[in-house]
Homo-oligomer: A and B are copies of this chain.
Amino acid sequence: MLRITQLVHHLLTGVIHEGDTVIDATCGNGYDTLFLAERVGESGRVHAYDIQPEAISTTEEKLIAHGLHRRVHLHLASHETIAQETTPVKAVIFNLGYRPGGDKTITTRPASTVRALEAALFRLQPGGMILIAVYPAHPGGEVEAEVVRTFVARLSIKHFTAMHMSNMLATERAPFLVAIEKHSERL
């Protein structure tokens, strides 16, 4: 349960409820999109973004196979375009780097990642969570990891909690997970 992919789902299970709107910022092979579609229920909505047509089609097939495609709006677009809508969201998942099994030269880029993170933060509801899986080992990955750390360091401790989660038995440049929670108004 402590693998990053499992942790993301386990953490969000405590956050997402039926009827929520959520975002998969990089749908990749669609595993997170499918999970999100299950969690938001019949009345919820998932927005999933990817710049690669194969990512969108793979994800769409998975959703159709599970009868969940009506809950999901697939965007063949960069996750930067998260900013184009304004509906508040309960959760956003980022998987940085390249698509597993896909073209490794097509990766998320630091500049657009920052804009996407800022848009996600802007749209995040109180009590909501942003999860960012960071893979520093690919070319440019270290820069992207640093961009994420800088982004988090600017958050106000009054409004956010940000946890860094990493495998203690892994080698250098191992993946890590950042979980950002926006405090609910009550706090």
A163 to B169, CA, bound (A): 8
Complex formed: what's the CA distance from A95 to B33 in Å?
36
Instruction: Kindly state whether residue A64 has any CB partner on chain B within 8 Å.
Output: no
Check A166/B169 contact, CB under 8 A, given A1-B15, A11-B10. no
Proximity bits, A1-17, B CB within 8 Å = 1, else 0: 11100010011001100
Interface residues of A in 143-187 (CB under 8 A from B): 149, 152-153, 155, 157, 160-170, 178-179, 181
A117 to chain B, nearest CB (A): 14
Question: A10-B10, A14-B10 are known contacts. Are A2 and B166 too (CB-CB below 8 A)?
Answer: no
The interface on chain A, measured as residues whose beta carbon lies within 8 A of the other chain's beta carbons, has a size of 28
Q: Closest Cβ of chain B: how far from A6's Cβ, in Å?
A: 9
Q: Which of B1, B165, B169 contacts A152 (CB 8 A)?
A: B169
Residues of B within 8 A of A170 (CB): 157
**Chain B residues with CB under 8 A of A149:** 168
Instruction: Give the residue among A165, A170, A179, A181 with the most B Cβ atoms within 10 A.
Output: A165
Q: Chain B CB within 10 Å — which of A1, A7, A149, A168 has the most?
A: A168
Chain B residue contacts of A1, Cβ below 8 A? 11, 14-15, 129, 181
Chosen A-B contacts, 12 in total, with CB atoms closer than 8 Å, are A1-B11, A1-B15, A2-B129, A2-B161, A149-B168, A152-B168, A153-B168, A162-B167, A162-B169, A163-B167, A164-B166, A165-B165
